[in-house]
Structure 1
Amino acid sequence: MPRIAESRPAAEPSSAEQKERHRRILRAASRLGAEHGLEQVQMHDVAKAAGVAIATLYRYFPSKTHLFASVMNYQVERFSLTGSLPEGASPAQAVESLLVQMTHEMARRPKLSLAMIQANNQAQMAAAPAAAINDAVFQKVVADTAGLADESEENERRVRLIVHCWYGVLVSVLNGRMGMDEAEGDIRMAAGLLFADR
């Protein structure tokens, strides 16, 4: 199991050059994670693939757990910018479409997806900020997709429940316990139950 590094905060890139270096690291980790999974990826290999010094990698990502939790955030943000949703869809249909598309996308690279999930779970157990950011970002993507401008407790609970349901479905798909047709059916039912009256 990858270790959680000491609690020092990760550096945030500020200049254009630093931001590009940061993106290169995330892209390199994504490629290596898709090929090898979390346990087999070495930080030195990520630094080499990204063309950065190992000290630079550790400045932005104190551990492999931090790195892959950040990769998850990077992937979710990328998807939220590029995913296409049906025009004129109801909130339930829009959420269903988003989650089905994300399931297909994550199932294309199961080793990377499991690496991100494992790292995010470990970051949550350690109360690392990256995990809280991932939860908030993903929940905002779902709320925006459903058109929930009202941040009521009920709407927050609906979003949280659909995310938890989807997460369980996704893990079952990635572990080979559920086929894609069954996964899509479960996502469709959950979205309908939680968002049909929105």
Structure 2
Amino acid sequence: MSTSLRSPSSAGETESRLLQAARRLATDGGYEAVTIQAVADLTGVSRVTAYKYFRNKDHLLSDLVIFWSAEAIAALEREAIGATDSGDPALRVARRLCFVIGFLRRTPRLLSAVLSASAAPGGRGSEPSSMVIQRYMGIDFGGYSIEETTALTRIFGYQLQAMLLALSAERVTMAEVEHDLHYLTKKLIG
């Protein structure tokens, strides 16, 4: 199973159907609604076949993030978010990440499900957040080493996840998130 950033259409037919079924279940019923059996039933494949693609529901939901992220990135590119903030790269990154957060929050049960899966022992955690976060931010880390780029994108991934959790729990506002992302970006990447 590759963790490259891809769209559902680039996955194999069965894998794509399983991911779409998981998305439908999570969107309607959240984390608890997604089981390998329910996904298999919805797609008309056996549970054994589903397990050939995903070792458990957390793995399935973690991979779903890849597809969902591809949609968010496409929306970012259509809207050209941050394109006019070239004089302040930190502001550009903050606006892009806020747009992504808003995009993800449109489907709260799905968001809750993928956040739960990323925190679960059977999930993939922050993998492949490095590639996704870098694409969300729309920046090139050309002046940084691979090690520095990896650390920066991991830090942004942690922050993005923490902010999504705080927003979901209504502990912070979107204005506070945008302010904090701008501040974080200025401190981390100048």
What's the TM-score bracket when you normalise by the shorter of the two chains?
0.7 to 0.9
CA distance in 1, matches of 2:182, 2:10: 43
TM-score normalized with structure 1 length: 0.75
Contact 1:11 1:60 in 2 (8 A): no
What displacement does 1:44 show?
A: 2.3
Contact 1:169 1:186 in 2 (8 A): no
CA distance in 2, matches of 1:167, 1:70: 16
After superposition, residues 1-198 of structure 1 pair within 5 angstroms as 19-84=12-77, 85-90=81-86, 91-122=89-120, 125=121, 130-131=124-125, 133-142=127-136, 145-152=138-145, 153-195=147-189, 197=190
What displacement does 1:169 show?
A: 1.2
Q: Which runs of 5+ in 2 are unaligned?
A: 4-8
What displacement does 1:188 show?
A: 2.6
Aligned residues: percent identity?
23
CA distance in 1, matches of 2:20, 2:128: 17
Q: Deviations over 1:39-79 (max 9, x none)?
A: 23232221232343322211101211111111112212332
Amino acid across the alignment from 1:120: S
Q: Which runs of 5+ in 1 are unaligned?
A: 1-9
Q: Deviations over 1:7-40 (max 9, x none)?
A: xxx699xxx9971221121122112112111123
Contact 1:34 1:112 in 2 (8 A): yes
Amino acid across the alignment from 1:89: D
TM-score normalized with structure 2 length: 0.78
Amino acid across the alignment from 1:28: A
Amino acid across the alignment from 1:33: A
Q: How large is the Cα RMSD of the aligned pairs?
A: 2.8
CA distance in 1, matches of 2:165, 2:11: 34
Contact 1:38 1:111 in 2 (8 A): yes
CA distance in 2, matches of 1:135, 1:121: 13
What displacement does 1:96 show?
A: 1.2
CA distance in 2, matches of 1:17, 1:56: 19
